[in-house]
Amino acid sequence: MGSAIEDHDDTTVNESESEWEEQNNDPHSDLPLPFLHLPALLLPSSFGCRNCNKHGLATLAELELQLHIGQVNDALHSICFTLADKVVLFHTEVHHASNQSANTCAWGKVHQLDMVLLRHAQIYRKGQNAMVALQADETLLERYRLLVNQDLKVTTAISDPNRSVHHMADLTWFWTMDIPRDAQESDWMSEIYCINWLCTKAVQDQWIGEVELIKSGVQWTINFFNSKFRQWEKLGTQSQKQGVMGHVVYAVHQATIYANL
């Protein structure tokens, strides 16, 4: 009798362990049972702005718009931090990988960040498309632009700030949306903004210097022509005193040429 109870208890434990393993392997096991396999809820953006106004859903559409504004803000914030982490990863691990194993490990981390970046980009694009469907005003759509793959390229200014190519590269539009918050929450973001500002300031100083060089070059050319005019005029005067009329004519001709330049 006792052995039967022990066998029954062992079977129960094994079955419980199997159920626990199956539950852990289920990607939805961490969700409450009532929320499993529920169909997606349609939001007002799915019907379009005209239908929302027609059926009295304008208030819900406005609430959804505010929801998507917060969603795209969070997505852009995460994109900035992920790109910054990717730049730091390139600088600290990829560029310093000394063997194949370290290089493979470093690039594995880069690919993981790429997956995170694509997920945030997908969230932003869905939110931005919903804002377009809800016919958000032009000011809002100008602020939250269409995100293209070119915008997701990292800047290596933080990893190699001395390269000459950086002073011609501008930050993507979403980097400058909320500079105070980004700089306050992350030292790396603050450093990126500082480097970009210094590079931009260097470009401005270079342009100012080039303008001064052009103006000075023009003035130097004018001064040279005036100097040659006075030189030939002086030679003509000397030749006239000496009575050499051929030299006088030639000197006057040369002086006239430089005077007209």
| Helix or strand run (H / E) with residue 175 | none
Local confidence band at 38 (pLDDT 50, 70, 90 cut-offs): low
- What is the C-alpha radius of gyration for the chain, rounded to an integer number of angstroms? 36
pLDDT digits (tens, 9 = 90+) for 105-123: 888 888 998 999 999 999 9
What pTM did the predictor assign? 0.54
Identity of the residue numbered 140: L
- Residue with more model confidence, 48 or 189: 48
3-state secondary structure of 205: helix
* Highest mean pLDDT pick, 79-93, 136-150, 159-173: 136-150
pLDDT digits (tens, 9 = 90+) for 195-229: 778 878 888 899 999 999 999 999 999 999 999 99
pLDDT digits (tens, 9 = 90+) for 1-10: 444 333 434 4
Q: Encoding tokens for residue 159?
A: 């990893």
Q: Which of 189, 195, 194 is nearest to 79 (CA)?
A: 189
pLDDT digits (tens, 9 = 90+) for 66-79: 998 999 989 988 88
Q: Which residue has the tokens 């990863």?
A: 89
Q: How far is CA 109 from the centre of its chain?
A: 21
What residues contact 229, with CB distance under 8 A and at least 6 apart? 255, 258, 259
Cα separation of 71 and 78, whole Å? 11
Q: Is the pLDDT of residue 169 over 60?
A: no
Cα separation of 178 and 181, whole Å? 6
Tell me which DSSP letter residue 43 carries.
P
C-alpha torsion sign, points 72, 74, 75, 81: positive
The answer to whether 127 touches 64, Cβ cutoff 8 Å, is no
What is the pLDDT, as a whole number, of residue 31? 41
Cα separation of 176 and 150, whole Å? 16
Cα separation of 94 and 114, whole Å? 14
What is the pLDDT, as a whole number, of residue 60? 85
Lowest-confidence region among 52-56, 58-62, 177-181, 208-212: 177-181
